[in-house]
């Protein structure tokens, strides 16, 4: 991929985006439980929160990757804190809920209290943001 130029609008879904490629590596490694996921996920999060090119929705996904990696690395307290940041972010989208659930399940065995707080937060978020297919009231 190195010969490819960085696109003018990398946020476009059908363009090569080096930052997105690195994010996919972080996601994959966190799912596999590879210890390298922690450093890569931290790097991705820093990139997504860069003042020069902030990408808040991708930053939420990067937080979830980092939290899952931290849970796998035996750091459930830090994982729970980062997951709570992701869940309470205004940029969390419903397509990330299941990934937050993965982290909650990973944290639960070693931090039941933290996972309880996270479960309450994600349930509140789900209730506050109805599914797209839910019928709407006449008022909209």
| Whether 62 contacts 45, CB under 8 Å | yes
Average pLDDT value for the chain: 86
Instruction: Give the model's pLDDT for residue 131.
Output: 57
Cα separation of 87 and 125, whole Å?
7
Query: Model pTM?
Result: 0.81
> Residue written as tokens 């944290």?
107
Does 140 score more than 60 pLDDT?
no
State how far Cα 28 lies from the chain centre.
Answer: 13
Nearest to 78 by CA among 106, 36, 56: 106
pLDDT in tens, 70-115: 999 999 999 999 999 999 999 999 999 999 999 999 999 999 999 9
Structure tokens at 53: 């090119």
Percentage of residues of the chain with pLDDT beyond 90: 71
Contacts of 93 (CB under 8 A, 6+ apart): 57, 60
What is the chain's percent helix, strand, coil content, to nearest 5?
Answer: 65, 0, 35
pLDDT in tens, 27-74: 999 999 999 999 999 999 999 999 988 999 999 999 999 999 999 999
């Amino acid at each position: 991929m190195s010969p490819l130029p960085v696109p003018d609008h990398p946020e476009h879904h059908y363009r090569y985006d080096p930052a997105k490629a690195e994010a996919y590596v972080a996601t994959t490694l966190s799912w596999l439980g590879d210890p390298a996921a922690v450093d890569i996920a931290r790097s991705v999060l820093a990139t997504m929160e860069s003042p020069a090119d902030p990408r808040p929705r991708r930053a939420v996904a990067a937080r979830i990757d980092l939290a899952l990696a931290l849970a796998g690395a035996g750091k459930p307290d830090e994982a729970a804190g980062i997951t709570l940041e992701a869940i309470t972010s205004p940029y969390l989208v419903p397509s990330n809920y299941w990934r937050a659930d993965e982290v909650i399940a990973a944290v639960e065995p070693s931090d039941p209290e933290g996972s309880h707080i996270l479960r309450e937060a994600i349930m509140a978020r789900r209730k506050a943001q109805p599914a797209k297919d839910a019928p709407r009231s006449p008022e909209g």
